[in-house]
Amino acid sequence: MQDTLNIFKIGGGIIDDADQLSQFLAELARVPGRKILVHGGGKGANQMLTELGIAPQMVNGRRITDAATLDIVTMFYAGKTNKQIVAGLQAAGVNALGLSGADGNVIQATKRPVKDIDYGFVGDLTERSVNAQLLDQLLRAGLTPVLCAITHDGRGQLLNTNADTIASTVARALAALYRVELHFCFEKDGVLTDINDDNSVVPQITPERYADMKAAGQIAAGMLPKLDNAFAALEAGVEKVVIENALKINEPVKTILCRS
């Protein structure tokens, strides 16, 4: 039987709040077995860009990343945020290793081609983008890889890649080696039927229910690409995909995705 690998993704909402981040890291430390953490940080990046006089620009949930923006998000995601999370995990007793996609060639991306929109230095992934062998070796060595949203193209160019997409693609690539459980963690208890009612968590969601909820206008903003990535992972052999509160990963309340 394959070993279980838990892959967690946290976004900018949690990372931005020091107390919530350290609570999440303490909960993560309690999860037994092998694990990988993927982090974003879009909210803090928006704040930093604004402070530096650059207006953040998002289209369809993806950041338009010009050269100046790439410099700043690289410093923010691969530098401050990644190292702060690694230090927090060390403090919680987890031997974490922080990596961008360029480190150990762990994630190689392709610059998004210009169609209607020029996203600039944004990287797209395929399953072959992920160096699953290296991640497996690190896990076997007892390390917890902590992956940020910065990738590279193999020719010296850094790229900015959505962190939900990284989590989903890493999960798919490692599904050949492990029984993978993918956890998208954020500030709500799961997928809600009413965004204003925290008690309206849908315990299980099928592709049909997702389509109905979308048609009813119950799913918006960042939750749309998140669920698209989540269902894609489930279809590609990831054993279990969960949407849950970052502060309650060890509690039963959550949304579990079902194939049908």
Ligand X SMILES: CC(=O)N[C@@H](CCC(=O)OP(=O)(O)O)C(=O)O
Pick out the residues of the known binding site for substrate: 41-42, 63, 160
Minimum gap (Å) between residue 73 Cβ and ligand X:
5
β-bridge partners, 179: 4
- Compute how many other C-beta atoms are within 10 angstroms of the C-beta atom of residue 215: 9
Q: Which of 94, 96, 122, 192 binds ligand ADP (CB under 6 A)?
A: 192
Binding residue for ligand X, selected from 49, 89, 139, 149, defined by CB under 6 A: 149
**Count of H-run helices and E-run strands, the chain:** 9, 14
Rounded to whole angstroms, what are the CA distances from 78 to 38, 70, 113, 188, 225? 11, 11, 24, 26, 23
Q: What Rg do the C-alpha atoms of the chain give, in angstroms? A: 17
Q: Residue 186: which of ligand X, ligand ADP, none does it interact with, CB under 5 to 8 A by kind?
A: ligand ADP
73 binds ligand X (CB under 6 A): yes
Stretch that binds ligand X, among 22-30, 81-89, 159-167, 236-244 (CB under 6 A): 159-167
Q: Which residues pair with 146 in a beta bridge?
A: 37, 98
Residues between 198 and 227 with contacts to ligand ADP, criterion CB under 6 A: 218-223, 226
Query: Quick one: which of 77, 72, 64 has its CA closest to 120?
Result: 64
190 in Cβ contact with 230 (< 8 Å): no
Q: 192 by DSSP, 3-state: which?
A: strand
Minimum CB–partner distance for residue 62 and ligand X (Å)? 4
Task: Give the one residue of 29, 64, 195, 236 binding ligand ADP; rule: CB under 6 A.
Answer: 195
Does 41 bind ligand X (CB under 6 A)? Our answer is yes
Least separation in angstroms between CB 165 and ligand X: 8
Beta carbon nearer to ligand ADP, 20 or 157: 20
Output the CA–CA distances (angstroms, integers) from residue 109 to 12, 31, 106, 250, in the order listed. Answer: 22, 30, 10, 33
Work out what residue 192 binds among ligand X, ligand ADP, none; the CB cut-off runs from 5 to 8 Å by kind.
Answer: ligand ADP
Query: In sequence order, what DSSP letters do the residues of 113-126 get, joined into one string?
Result: PPSSS--BSBEE--
Residue 189 in the binding site for ligand ADP (CB under 6 A): no
Q: Is 256 a residue that touches ligand ADP (CB under 6 A)?
A: no
Residue ranges that bind ligand X, judged by CB under 6 A:
11-12, 40-43, 45, 62-63, 73, 122, 149, 160-163
